Amino acid sequence: MKTNALLIIDPQNDFCNPGDANGTGKGSLYVDGAENDMERLALWLKKHRQAVDYVGITLDSHQPNDISHPNFWMDKNGDFPAPFSVITAVNVENGEWTPRFDPKKSLDYLKTLENQGEYPHVIWPVHCVIGSTGAAIYQPLMDSIIEWTVNGKFYQTVAKGTFPFTEHFGAFRAQVPDSNRPETQLNQGLIKTLDNYRNIYLAGEAKSHCVANSLKQILEEAPELADKFIVLTDAMSNVTGFETLADPIYEKAVKMGVRFSTTKDALL
């Protein structure tokens, strides 16, 4: 068995780039502090590049017309919802919001999401559009990953969110998998890859959403891996306004043997 894997969740410009003094280049869904998280992680990887055996990176990957984006929905006046609005199945049934694409599938998605007790359906700013600058890996971290590969190593990327009719927070499956879309279903291959390592270090953005749901999915779908995970708490930050949303997930993780450390203390 190999020793150390690093799984980085969505270290992309739209989450991590704070922009310049004028705000130019700022990520559309910038997470406050994310650039510092990724720079700490880059330094940690650089310091431990000999000891890290595997680097996996998830990439949020959306179409402009995505169920989580404003332009997927409209009200009676034809207006799009404001970012950070919450849309429920009742809102749709009451005619407050109408999906512009496949109304039945969209309503069924909301109902299933709510019945499963997943996060509420929040509308985000358009982000991580496939092929865009915002979808690229934050450069200081990318530089460190490239340096890590010099000794003959190869990193793995995992696209998530490509199917526009479901959110895909976690690394391992969509919030509501679609039986006809393999890319939304449980990623058994990634789970098997990670199971080859004694320690799995987890970092990325955002702590409140995609990192937390990646951890939640492991606890539910592959609990035997729980005690391999080490969460690097100073290499992730919450989306502003959602600071306590994931607390139950992290509390459950502690009880199931997940370890927590920092880039300063996690010495390989």
Specify the pLDDT at position 21: 77
Percentage of the chain lying above the pLDDT 90 cut: 96
Q: How confident is the model at residue 193 (pLDDT cuts 50, 70, 90)?
A: very high
Q: What CATH number labels 2-63+137-261?
A: 3.40.50.850
151 vs 76, which has greater pLDDT? 76
Specify the pLDDT at position 22: 80
Specify the pLDDT at position 169: 98
Instruction: Report the distance separating Cα 261 and Cα 163, nearest Å.
Output: 34
Cis peptide before 34 (omega within 30 of 0): no
Rounded alpha-carbon distances, angstroms, from residue 90 to 96, 108, 176, 242: 9, 11, 18, 23
Instruction: Report the distance separating Cα 249 and Cα 169, nearest Å.
Output: 14
Burial of 135 (0-12, 13-18, 19+ CB in 10 A): buried
Q: What is the dihedral of CA 210, 211, 214, 216, to 10 degrees?
A: -110
CATH 3.40.50.850 in the chain: give the residue spans.
Answer: 2-63+137-261
Mean pLDDT of 159-166: 98
Taking residue 187's Cβ as centre, other Cβ atoms within 10 Å add up to 20
For residue 122, the 8-state DSSP code is B
| Mean confidence (pLDDT) of the chain | 97
Specify the pLDDT at position 45: 98
Checking if the pLDDT of 184 tops 90, the result is: yes
**pTM higher than the cut 0.85:** yes
Q: What is the three-class DSSP state of 162? A: coil
Checking if the pLDDT of 75 tops 90, the result is: yes
Mean pLDDT of 97-126: 97
Mean pLDDT of 45-62: 97
Tokens at residue 53, please? 């055996």
Instruction: Report the distance separating Cα 268 and Cα 248, nearest Å.
Output: 29
Checking if the pLDDT of 268 tops 90, the result is: no
